[in-house]
Amino acid sequence: MSTIILIGSFFVLLFLNVPIAGCLGLSSLLTLGFMDMSFTTIPINYYAASHKFVLLAIPFFILAGNIMEKAGISGKLIDLAKSMVGHMKGGLALVCVIVSCFFAAISGSGPATVAALGMIVIPAMINVGYRPASASALMATSGAIGVIIPPSISFVVYGSITGTSISKMFMGGILPGLLMGICLVVAMFYASRKDKLVTLPRASRAEKWKAFKVAVWGLLMPVIILGGIYGGIFTPTEAAAVAAVYGLFVGVFVYKTIGLKELYKIFVDSASQTAVVMFIVCAASLFSYVITVGGIASSAGAALTNISSGNRVIFLFIVNIILLIAGCFIDGTSAFYIFTPIMFPVAMALGIDPVAFGVMMTMNLAIGQVTPPVGVNLYVAAPMGGVNIGQIAKAVVPFVLASLVALLLITYIPGIVTLLPSLLK
């Protein structure tokens, strides 16, 4: 009965458009009342959920991404990519994906990547002949790479729940993120094959060098973050703080685009975004606690094992289906707290690598950022291309299919994920 109350109340609240944190918290509260458990567990659980050193990386990565966005690094990265591949047919599609990969290594957030790049990339693509809906859809889907290529807030959340090395998660996300980018480029070439595209003039060596010199400060950020982590200089949490300080230095002293007024807004926006994420983390943690103490996790895990008959292939297929559906309705942070207690023990019992499983879960939820009705990236990209949600939802289909190809590859060829982490000792 507790399962019916928990899940039933959650979905009722969800379809009533209650914010996701409210859905998680209120449904947990109702279930705790039905189970006649003390409500004193709520503040204890909230404190335990937020009192983790590793989660300190979240506000710092959010701050670093906001600083680099306000510093104007997105425009400089776009100029560099255009100088390199803009002269090719379909070159701006390449620019969109390439710059998304670079900016993903700065922001760690899908919507932030779309917001920072879309205002420049989408109009530029439309000007050379791409259809507005297709350009917006590609930007939205490319932005989803932001949660796969490190540093990724989703990897931090997964690592904090399961105890998996965040450093290995970061390294494991590199190749899958690039693979997803390649699949998106192929899909865009197919989707735009009938469009009359205009190519940009070929940039000279001097122009390429000039664009590189301006953008190099932004390119150095992921090198500092990942190089510092894998070089054993600092932890992922410390790397997030270093990234924020470095971004501040670049914005204030190098690009000189950030003053006191901009800095105040950056801090306010970062605090607001962090509060939203941490509120979801705490509410989702309480939901996860109720799932565990109510025996729901163990029952669901046993059912999942029975349905898959202990077969890895079937289990992973079922997990992908569940997460793809869940991604249509809830955000990635909530999904991790809801499904990880159920799926992770079964995956470990079947001998699945925890890093490969975490990256697979993350890619599922990244795809969820461009699938209606939630599809937050779609809502960010649509107005930039002057299209409505219906138009962008239709145009995003080939890119979702391309992303699913990448998902299937990393699901059943886990070596794509584990290759780089295996180099870490």
* Average pLDDT per block of 10 residues along the chain, 425 residues long: 79 82 86 76 77 79 80 78 78 82 70 78 84 89 84 85 89 91 87 74 86 84 80 81 86 84 88 84 84 76 81 92 84 83 90 94 88 79 86 90 94 93 74
Predicted TM-score (pTM) of the model is 0.84
Same-domain check for residues 29 and 111 = no
Task: Check whether residue 115 and residue 140 sit in a common domain.
Answer: yes
> How far apart are alpha carbons 34 and 144 in whole angstroms?
39
What token pair was written down for 269?
Answer: 């926006």
The answer as to whether 235 is a domain residue is: yes
User: Are residue 26 and residue 133 in the same domain, yes or no?
Assistant: no
Dist CA 184 CA 201 (whole Å): 24
Q: Is residue 293 exposed (0-12), middle (13-18) or buried (19+ Cβ within 10 Å)?
A: middle
**410 and 377 in one domain?**
yes
Residue 197 in domain: yes
Q: Are residues 79 and 160 located together in one domain of the fold?
A: yes
In this structure, what token pair is assigned to residue 207? 């122009």
In whole angstroms, give the CA distance from residue 144 to residue 369.
6
The answer as to whether 18 is a domain residue is: yes
Within-domain flag for 238: yes
Decide: 110 and 135 in contact? Cβ < 8 Å: no
Q: Is 274 exposed, middle or buried (0-12, 13-18, 19+ CB in 10 A)?
A: middle
Q: Does 33 share its domain with 162?
A: no
Q: How many C-beta atoms lie closer than 10 Å to residue 374's C-beta?
A: 18
In a domain, 317, yes or no: yes
For 30, residues 6+ apart whose C-beta sits below 8 A from its C-beta are 5, 6, 9
Would 131 be classed as within a structural domain? yes
- Do 326 and 230 reside in the same domain of the chain? yes
CB 360 within 8 A of CB 411: yes
Spell out the SS3 assignment of the chain: CHHHHHHHHHHHHHHCCCCHHHHHHHHHHHHHHHCCCCCCHHHHHHHHHHCCHHHHHHHHHHHHHHHHHHCCHHHHHHHHHHHHHCCCCCHHHHHHHHHHHHHHHHHCCHHHHHHHHHHHHHHHHHHCCCCHHHHHHHHHHHHHHHHCCCCCHHHHHHHHHHCCCHHHHHHHCHHHHHHHHHHHHHHHHHHCCCCCCCCCCCCCHHHHHHHHHHHHHHHHHHHHHHHHHHCCCCCHHHHHHHHHHHHHHHHHHHCCCCCHHHHHHHHHHHHHHHHHHHHHHHHHHHHHHHHHHCCHHHHHHHHHHHHHCCCHHHHHHHHHHHHHHHHCCCCHHHHHHHHHHHHHHHHHHCCCCHHHHHHHHHHHHHHHHHCCCCCHHHHHHHHHHCCCHHHHHHHCHHHHHHHHHHHHHHHHCCHHHHCCHHHCC
Q: Are residues 152 and 222 in the same domain?
A: yes
CA 29 to chain CA mean position, Å: 29
Distance linking the first and last C-alpha atoms of the chain: 47
Residues 60 and 34 in one domain: no
> Which residue type is seen at 77?
L
Helix axes 2-15, 20-34, angle to 10 degrees: 150
Asked if residue 210 and residue 278 are part of one domain, the reply reads yes
Query: What's the pLDDT score for residue 352?
Result: 93
The whole domain housing 145 covers 53-423
How many domains is the chain built from?
2
Q: Angle, to 10 degrees, between the axis of helix 205-230 and the axis of helix 236-249?
A: 150
Q: Would you say residue 48 lies in a domain?
A: no
Q: Do 35 and 88 reside in the same domain of the chain?
A: no
209 occurs within a structural domain: yes
Q: Give yes or no: residues 105 and 248 share one domain.
A: yes
The pLDDT of residue 355 is 95
Cα separation values, 231 from 93, 225, 424, Å: 34, 10, 10
